[in-house]
């Protein structure tokens, strides 16, 4: 008789473990839905190497890249799809067009996290980028780890997504 009771307890325990596991999977799926929200990234660059690096940094995420090669293309994307953007990543050379673009996008979408990569930084380019709305400014050459960490720092946490 004690053996039958033990068998029932084992069966009940297995059933409860199955229910608990199912609950964990449902919770994980729900949490995953928050974490893995499809995001749209404006990538303004003519640097194919940096474009590849950005795509590596976001590999495995549900990211749609809206790539712009010119200021005109970037402005068009910002005007048409700015409200859908979750992140903007821009590379700037020595000219002032990039800073004007950054300022224009920041003026329309102040909450859009923006990462700027500058060609050569004497401190002046970074200061201009921050003054025009950049959240993070990196100087080339940029490593994959450095870029991945900078992007991660700009993304909302699970708690912020749940509150949104």
Give burial (CB, 10 Å; 0-12/13-18/19+) of 27.
exposed
Cβ atoms of residues 62 and 35 within 8 Å: no
Give the angle 34-105-133 at the CA atoms, nearest 5°.
Answer: 85
Q: Catalogue the E-assigned strands of the chain.
A: 39-44, 63-68, 87-92, 114-118, 136-139
Domain 38-163 grouped into CATH 2.60.40.1250: no
> Does the global pTM surpass 0.85?
no
Q: Work out the mean pLDDT of the chain and round it to a whole number.
A: 79
Asked whether the CA dihedral 139, 95, 66, 76 is positive or negative, the reply is: positive
Q: What is the dihedral of CA 91, 113, 72, 104, to 10 degrees?
A: -110
Give me the mean pLDDT over the 100-112 stretch.
93
pLDDT recorded at residue 150: 96
Task: Return the domain boundaries, the chain.
Answer: 1-35, 38-163
pLDDT, tens only, 33-86: 444 568 999 999 999 999 999 999 999 889 999 999 999 999 999 999 999 999
Reported as a single tens digit per residue, the pLDDT across 109-152 is 999 999 999 987 767 888 889 999 999 999 999 999 999 999 99
Pinpoint the alpha helices (H) of 109-143: 124-131
Other Cβ atoms within 10 Å of 104 Cβ, number: 17
């Amino acid at each position: 008789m004690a053996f039958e009771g033990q068998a029932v307890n084992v069966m009940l325990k297995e059933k409860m473990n199955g229910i608990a596991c199912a609950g964990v999977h449902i919770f994980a799926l729900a949490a995953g839905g928050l974490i893995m929200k499809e995001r749209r990234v404006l990538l303004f660059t003519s640097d194919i190497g940096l474009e590849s690096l950005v795509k590596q940094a976001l590999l495995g995420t549900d990211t749609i890249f809206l790539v712009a090669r010119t200021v005109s293309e970037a402005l068009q994307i910002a005007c048409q799809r700015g409200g859908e953007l979750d992140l903007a990543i821009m590379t700037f050379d020595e000219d002032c067009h990039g800073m004007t673009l950054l300022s224009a996008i920041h003026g329309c979408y102040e909450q859009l996290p923006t990462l700027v990569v500058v060609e050569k930084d004497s401190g002046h380019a970074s200061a201009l980028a921050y003054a025009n709305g950049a959240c993070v400014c990196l100087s080339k050459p940029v490593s994959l780890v450095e870029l991945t960490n900078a992007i991660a720092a700009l993304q909302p946490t699970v708690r912020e997504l749940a509150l949104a």
